[in-house]
A = this chain, B = another copy of it.
Amino acid sequence: MTSLQQVNPRVLGVRVSPHSTRQSLAAHITYQITKGVQKPFKKVIDVSSGDPHKAGMKPISFVRQVLAVCLYPELLHDENLPQDARLRAQKLLAACGGGSVGSYSSPATGLRYVVQNIAEFITRRDAGVPSYPQAIVNTSGSRKALTMMMKLLASGVGENQTGVLTPTPCPYTLPMLLDEAGVTLAPYQLREDRGWAVDLEELQLALKTARGCCQPRAIYISNPGNPTGHVQDRKSIEEVIRFAATEGLFLLVDEVYQDSVYGQGREFVSYKKVLFEMGEEYSETVEMVSFHSLSNGIMGECGLRGGYMETVNLDPAVMRCLVTIQSTNSPPILPQLALDLMVNPLTCGDPSYGTYTQEILFSQVTLAQNAQRAWEFLNRLPGMSCQPAMGGIHLYPQLLIPPGMIEQAKILGVEADVLYCQRLLEEEGVCVGAGCENGQTDKNYHLRLCVLVPPGTLEEVLARLSSFHLRLLDRFPLPDRGVKDRELVENSVA
């Protein structure tokens, strides 16, 4: 029998995230409730990952109407559905092989019609900086796209292994994904005291540290930041681009929250736009891939699994390698059609435009108001301190864990933040993420909360979290609470 010793060492090296264990526990508790086991709460609320529909956010009706018609084209004649949805479905079906969503994607990099519309969207978004269909690859989600890039860049072992500079904190799925690809993580610290900004000195420090342990070949950036909520301004982006150019690093830019910026005076500026405005010295040399997705932000269509990446300055021979590995991985059709709806939205005058705009606005307002509400609430809790978010769908508060619980965690052999989250789930039925899953290895503990949820759900989460937290502090008081709290609050205001 194949033993663990015979399993691919890379697979064995994939760290098992406490997130998975917590998900199983959440499922178990939910199961217990359905079986009549008494709990102090009626249902588990999971805000540990960005999964808005699971938490009760509604999909955009027009998107679902069009996709439903594409699946069952008899609905083209169903007058219960808006005419513009049916017309759009007709157009999209014509882009599919044999006019059916049941045929393979040909080419495997994405249906031509969709890819063309993605390129036009990017060009509009970037005020005319051109985007080319042949540089775009549709995938089954942005993580899948990143996996492909990692597969392309991975090589060597030990000191010769490809390294990627990754932010701390980073999206919680990133470490596992890089482990699996056989790539070394070379973490750079984001500056919590500056709202989780990217800091040049930290990048340089990380690169220097990495150079002894691996071959750093790329830098991964999440902007707007997951889970930090930070949104980079043009100056910060320029700094990162110059750093990548000087050090010969490939830029991997996760821009999946580009439609979810709500910080006052902040707007999303793409790396590509900045790159091209920095002149040919950069725009013709710096290699870059930008990721976008259906799952994140306002669409929130996680279950469809769709995304794309746009490559910039890739050697054509290397691009061909990417196309080759994509050909064994033909992406599903429906998410591609949903991508088309994302990049090619309804415009004023379309019959469904009113509803469509209202639904999007509702999500945007919910997100912004929730972020503000949760930020204020969390900052009022003793021992908790949260940077204001400007975009993305998470908050990432720092928390002081009482020494009593840290001791308990040591005995149990788990991180203290993981224990905190586990107890919160058990006692209050609220599932949040632990900062260590986001690569936070220092003793500044953090929590991760998705705030793109219905406002009532958020209130419930905050109430239960607060009740657990205050009970915990009663049980295990914080030492010298006043001082530490004051420091935290001062940091967060600074």
Q: Which residues of A contact B (CB under 8 A)?
A: 1-4, 6-12, 14, 16-17, 20, 23-24, 27, 49, 51-56, 59, 61, 64-65, 67-69, 71-72, 74-75, 78, 80, 96-98, 100-107, 112, 140, 143-144, 147, 151-155, 173, 176-177, 180, 217, 250, 285, 287, 295, 300-305, 313-315, 317-318, 321, 324-325, 327-335
Contacts and interface: CB of A to CB of B under 8 A. Distances in A.
B302 A103 contact: yes
Contact of A328 (B107, B154, B177, B304): B177
A155 B5 CA distance: 11
Contact of A332 (B1, B152, B303, B325): B303
B176 A102 contact: no
A305 B317 CA distance: 28
A176 B67 CA distance: 32
Contact of A152 (B8, B61, B335): B8
Nearest to A333: B303
A84 to B, nearest CB: 15
Contacts of A7: 152-153, 155, 318, 321
A103 B303 contact: yes
Contacts of A147: 328
6 tightest A-B CB contacts, nearest first: A54-B103, A303-B333, A53-B102, A54-B97, A68-B72, A53-B100
A12 B321 CA distance: 7
Contacts of A11: 151-152, 321, 324-325
A109 to B, nearest CB: 11
Given A14-B325, A177-B328, A304-B102, A97 B287 contact: no
B75 A315 contact: no
Nearest to A62: B72
Contact of A140 (B4, B105, B140): B140
Contact of A2 (B140, B180, B315): B315
A23 B300 contact: no
Contacts of A107: 23-24, 27
Contacts of A23: 106-107
A97 B53 contact: yes
Contacts of A80: 74-75, 78, 80
A104 B304 CA distance: 8
A388 to B, nearest CB: 27
Contacts of A329: 143-144
B155 A97 contact: no
Nearest to A79: B80
Given A3-B317, A11-B152, A68-B75, 18 more contacts: A1-B285, A1-B315, A2-B318, A6-B155, A7-B152, A7-B318, A8-B153, A11-B321, A11-B325, A14-B324, A17-B327, A23-B106, A23-B107, A52-B102, A54-B100, A64-B71, A103-B302, A304-B332
Nearest to A177: B328
Residue from A59, A153, A324 with most neighbouring chain B CB atoms (10 Å):
A324
Contacts of A152: 7-8, 11
Contact of A102 (B6, B65, B303): B303
Contacts of A102: 52-53, 59, 300-304
Nearest to A106: B23
B72 A65 contact: yes
A175 to B, nearest CB: 10
Given A98-B56, A153-B2, A103 B27 contact: no
A10 B10 CA distance: 14
A180 B78 contact: no
B105 A303 contact: yes
A197 B155 CA distance: 40
A172 to B, nearest CB: 11
Nearest to A218: B2
Given A51-B97, A51-B103, A64 B59 contact: no
A1 to B, nearest CB: 6
A195 to B, nearest CB: 28
A271 B26 CA distance: 36
A302 B17 contact: no
A112 B24 CA distance: 12
